[in-house]
Structure formats: structure tokens, C-alpha cells
Chain A
Amino acid sequence: MEQNNSLPPFQGLASPQGAMTPGMPIFSPMMPYGSGLTPQPVTNTNSLSLLEEQQRQQQQQASSQQAGVPGGLGQTPQLYHSQTVTTTTLPGNTPLYTATPLTPMTPITPATPASESSGIVPQLQNIVSTVNLGCKLDLKTIALRARNAEYNPKRFAAVIMRIREPRTTALIFSSGKMVCTGAKSEEQSRLAARKYARVVQKLGFPAKFLDFKIQNMVGSCDVKFPIRLEGLVLTHQQFSSYEPELFPGLIYRMIKPRIVLLIFVSGKVVLTGAKVRGEIYEAFENIYPILKGFRKTT
């Protein structure tokens, strides 16, 4: 593991301090590094970035003890101070400072080192939304008079209607509720749902547009390198399920945000289960460093 590389700047400063925990190198793999519940990527050994992350977490605390942080040298002793504190507290006690990568974190977020963002933005592929038209509908009338409608009550108790712009499909039920699928953005989904509502309204029903809600968003992207799915399922088994005989993709159920990712050997990733666009982006930013750690090198 890359963690074993020592960091000369720290160690250089550590010696005069003497405050370092004896016998315990900072980046030992033996450290209680997440109690096995937190998906952790391989640590970033960039000392500067870790220093920045420590500082960021300290600043988040906004504790009075940290007031007046001097620039440069003054920060390093504080870094050591916090490290000493955290390594001597028992797991479960709230440390004085925020959980650093060296303490057991709440097992919901895959920790990411302070590396730069992936530069890849997942593209939205499908949005499913629902809306209540607020009145009972006669599906046979709708199927007979509207264009591009299918109604086969023996098979399915709804009218399936499609429009070309935005290219979407709607399921319209006799209760007045409607499901709109196929849009590529939230605005398009809302616009499409309004178009369907207008079609129904023009047929003579007193249609309204109540409780429009996006129920699911699907995004996809490409990390542009092959991935060792076997390795990923070994280390992240609480979150992953990989049955290549059943399905060629690894199914990763991220807890926070609650997103399901389908990860393929080719490096393509599908993210689904989001209610808002930000969850897709957040999930991808969380998984990207983990995937980088399982890049295929042959």
C-alpha cells in the first residue's frame, strides 16, 4: 500500500516537537483507519494536500482554540497537536477536532483525500417524474381522440402516450395520476409533463398540474480506464455485489448519497436512484478515487 511512504517534511518537524505518539508512525496501515465500514480509497500521500485537509477540518470546527492561526510555520505545530489528541482518544469519544483520516469516521461516507476533482461530469440519461392531474380520466376517450396513444386494458390499465419534443413517454392512469419518463433534464421532464397535461386538458378534462415530483434520475459517464472489479468487490464487499455470471457489472450501493452505481470493466459507470442532480455528481466524486485505486494496469 502506498501509505508506507514516509513524509520527510512531517518527520523533520516532528523530532523537535516530541509530541508525536511514540512508536506509531502517522500513516501506518495498523491505524484504526475506519472500522472496515467506511469505503476508504488508498491514502493520498501528498503531504501538502493532507496538511490542507487537516487545516480545513480544523477550520470547520471553528473552535476558539484555533483562533488566530498564523501563517506558515505556526500551522504545523497545530497539526501535530491535533494528531496527538486524536490518536490518544478512544474510538467512540468525540475528539476535540473533527475526525481526521486517522480516526474512525462515521461509516457512511467514502472518505476522499483532498485531491482535485475528476474533471468528468456524469451526463443525465433519464428522468422519471410523476404528477397528479387532479381529476378522474376516461382512458378510452383519451386513447381514441389523442394522437400517439396506446391503450390495451387487458394488458395494462393505463394509456401510453408519447411526444416528440422533449422525446418522452407518459403513462396516464384513470385516477388522473401520470408518470413521465425519458427526459434528459429536470426542466425537460417538467415541460413534457405539462405538454401531456395540456393534451388531456384539450380533450375536455379539467386537468391541473399538482405535485410534480422527480422520482428518479439516471446518469452515466466514463472514467476512461479499465477497472479491476474483483478487487473492488473484495475491499468494498459491504457495498458491492458482483456476479459476472449473472450480470457483467458490479452493483455498488453507496450509502451517502443513497445511489446505486453500475460499474463495468470498461470503465463506464451508470448512476441511478437520485432525486436531485447533485446526488449523481456527489456519488461520482465519491467513487472516482476508489475506482482510480482499482485501475487495471495491464
Chain B
Amino acid sequence: MAYQLYRNTTLGNSLQESLDELIQTQQITPQLALQVLLQFDKAINTALANRVRNRVNFKGSLNTYRFCDNVWTFVLNDVEFREVTDLVKVDKVKIVACDGKSSDYFSHSSLIIRPRLFLTQ
């Protein structure tokens, strides 16, 4: 079972809104919508793991941090995201990071932790 982390993203939210509309108009069942979301989770996780190669550096000041249930949550201020090509500056960024190697429902601890970051503004 993949992380449901990516549902609260622009892409994930758009999907959820569309599914809600379809449910409203009785075109699909809520059960089907749930299956769609689960498939979305799997797809987005594998896509990010296998099809994304670029690297972004970021630097900022740490406002708060939290570690609970193996999930790190950071809030940074005055952050600069640098990619080879360009630079983006932001006042506030919240980072939610889950453990890279092990999944939600597997409780064994992983040897290497490569957190996959998903950034929300």
C-alpha cells in the first residue's frame, strides 16, 4: 500500500474534486472513487520514484519541526529553491516527509531513509 501523502497536492486535489463531482451527478459510486484514489496513490508513488530525475536544492531558516509516526513535518521561512536553471524564493514552506524505503503498512524499519519530499505552499 503506497503513501496517501500525495492526495493533498494540486494534482491530487483536482482529482478528488472531479471525483466528487462525478459522485454528485451519480455517474460513479463512492466505492469506485475510492479505488481511483488508491490507484492514484500507487501511480504517483511509482512515477516520482522512477520517472523523476532532476534535483532541487533548497535553503532556508527552520521555524518548527515535528517527528511523529515516522513522518517529519518542517516549516521553513525565507526559503530559496534552486535548480540549475532557476531560483524561486518563498516566505513560508511546509515540508511533509515520509520514510523512503518502507511503506505505511509495513512496520519494519528501513536501512536507508531517502525521504521523498512533497512541498505545499
Contact = CB atoms under 8 A, between A and B. Distances in A.
Contacts of A150: 65-68
A143 B73 CA distance: 11
B10 interface: no
A224 interface: no
A167 to B, nearest CB: 14
Nearest to B68: A143
A32 B79 CA distance: 72
A149 B109 CA distance: 21
Question: Interface on chain A toward B: helix, strand, loop, or mixed SS?
Answer: mixed
Contacts of B121: none
A144 B68 contact: yes
A147 B64 contact: yes
Contacts of B68: 140, 143-144, 149-151
Interface string B31-46: 0000000000000000
Nearest to A159: B68
B70 interface: yes
B62 to A, nearest CB: 9
Interface in A124-154: 140, 143-144, 147-152, 154
Question: Which of A140, A147, A154 has the most chain B CB within a 10 Å cutoff?
Answer: A147
A143 B66 contact: yes
A182 B109 CA distance: 30
A156 B65 CA distance: 18
A149 B66 contact: yes
Interface in B52-69: 64-68
A147 B63 CA distance: 9
Contacts of A149: 66-68
A143 B67 contact: yes
A112 B65 CA distance: 52
A154 B64 contact: no
Contacts of B66: 143-144, 147-150
Question: Which of B64, B65, B66, B70 has the most chain A CB within a 10 Å cutoff?
Answer: B66
Nearest to B107: A154
Nearest to B65: A148
Interface in A57-104: none
Nearest to A143: B68
Interface of B: 64-68, 70, 109
The 6 closest A-B pairs by CB, nearest first: A150-B67, A143-B68, A147-B64, A151-B68, A144-B68, A148-B64
Given A143-B67, A149-B67, 15 more contacts: A143-B66, A143-B68, A144-B66, A144-B68, A147-B65, A147-B66, A148-B66, A149-B66, A150-B65, A150-B66, A150-B67, A150-B68, A151-B68, A152-B67, A154-B109
19 contacts: A140-B68, A143-B66, A143-B67, A143-B68, A144-B66, A144-B68, A147-B64, A147-B65, A147-B66, A148-B64, A150-B65, A150-B66, A150-B67, A150-B68, A151-B67, A151-B68, A152-B67, A152-B70, A154-B109
